[in-house]
Copies of this chain bind each other. A is one copy, B any other.
Amino acid sequence: MSMVCIQRRERFSAAHQLYNPNWSEEQNEAVFGRCANKHYHGHNFSLIVTVKGRPNPETGFVMNLFDLKQLIRVHIIDWVDHRNLNTDVPFMQGKMASTEVLAIEFWKILKPLIQVDGPGLYCIRLEETENNFVEYYGEEA
């Protein structure tokens, strides 16, 4: 059978701040504007994980979406939902809490956990608002 991409959406609500600690407050405000607010702001994030592989002829599945859902919840959502991305999330320590960086970190966590007949994790899509989105396809893309 040919390759198929399957996708699962999970959601989380988190606070964050765009702030570079190596810069002055003025520089942060000049670059990040209101996103640098020191008391934080927040979003409902929508995370869409794409997995690429061959459907198993016994199940018709590239991967059971129930298993994919569980992986995403245990390894991502439980760590970021109703959290502050700058202060509460171990894998974001010392990193800029931008949507781009979040997507890359989510990829690093999920990539080794997803085993299918084919390339496996293919894309991390992260929607921050109804207008701002990010997609990451891994280092080689």
Binding site for B on A (CB under 8 A): 1-11, 13-16, 18, 20, 22-23, 31-35, 37, 39-44, 48, 50, 55, 57-62, 64-66, 81-84, 87-88, 95-101, 103-104, 129-139, 141
Docked pose: A99 CA to B97 CA in angstroms: 26
CB of A99, distance to nearest CB on chain B (Å): 8
- B4 contacts A34, C-beta separation under 8 Å: no
Q: Which of A1, A39, A95, A141 has the most CB of B within 10 A?
A: A39
- B60 contacts A5, C-beta separation under 8 Å: no
- A87 contacts B14, C-beta separation under 8 Å: no
CB of A72, distance to nearest CB on chain B (Å): 10
CB of A14, distance to nearest CB on chain B (Å): 6
- A137 contacts B3, C-beta separation under 8 Å: yes
